[in-house]
């Protein structure tokens, strides 16, 4: 099922701004977790292999679900998949505070990878749908600072949060 999307001739549309802000928060949350979860796994008694698996399972499940989402985004629609991906990410992030065993953390990270794969693929599809072809170079130039800022702000927030809490 092929869907038609109205593409404005402007880059800075309401849809573009919403998706850039959503993208910022998704990546910032990712950057807050990636450097600290292996350390946390070791702190709760996990092995070096389990600390590595907490990152690997996430990446593997994200990779698998990106290809599945790529096919589903055209048949199910962008909005439902983005919503499902956001819900999976939010719930799995919140569950990190509830479960403190290595096995549960590994399971949660695999689920987070599913949400990440769905969200990142759908966001990229929505971005390409809403930016006119002749403005793609500008889109990329606009997003470059956001990519760097989400890495910096995510790591900075994670560092401050780690000082204040046990996690």
| Measured distance CA(94)–CA(127) in Å, rounded | 27
Which residue did the predictor score with more confidence, 116 or 136? Answer: 116
pLDDT tens string 63-108: 999 999 989 998 999 999 999 999 999 999 889 888 889 999 999 9
- Predicted confidence at residue 2, as pLDDT, reads 45
Domain ranges within the chain, ordered by starting residue: 14-131
The residue that leads in pLDDT, 11 or 114, is 114
Average pLDDT estimate for 28-57: 87
Percent of the chain with pLDDT strictly greater than 90: 38
Entry pTM: 0.73
Answer with the residue of higher pLDDT: 133 or 50: 50
Interatomic CA distance for residues 76 and 39, integer angstroms: 38
């Amino acid at each position: 099922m092929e869907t038609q999307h109205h593409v404005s001739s402007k880059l800075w549309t309401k849809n573009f701004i919403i998706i850039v802000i959503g993208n910022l928060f998704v990546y910032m949350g990712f950057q807050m977790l990636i450097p600290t979860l292996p350390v946390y796994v070791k702190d709760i008694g996990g092995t070096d292999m389990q600390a590595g698996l907490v990152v690997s399972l996430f990446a593997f499940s994200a990779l698998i679900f990106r290809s599945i989402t790529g096919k589903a985004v055209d048949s199910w629609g962008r909005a439902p998949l983005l919503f499902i991906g956001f819900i999976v990410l939010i719930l799995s992030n919140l569950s990190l505070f509830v479960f403190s065993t290595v096995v549960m953390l590994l399971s949660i990270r695999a689920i987070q990878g599913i949400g990440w794969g769905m969200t990142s693929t759908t966001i990229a599809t929505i971005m390409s749908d809403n930016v006119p072809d002749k403005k793609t170079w500008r889109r990329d130039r606009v997003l470059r600072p956001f990519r760097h800022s989400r890495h910096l702000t995510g790591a900075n927030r994670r560092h401050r949060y780690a000082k204040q809490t046990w996690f």
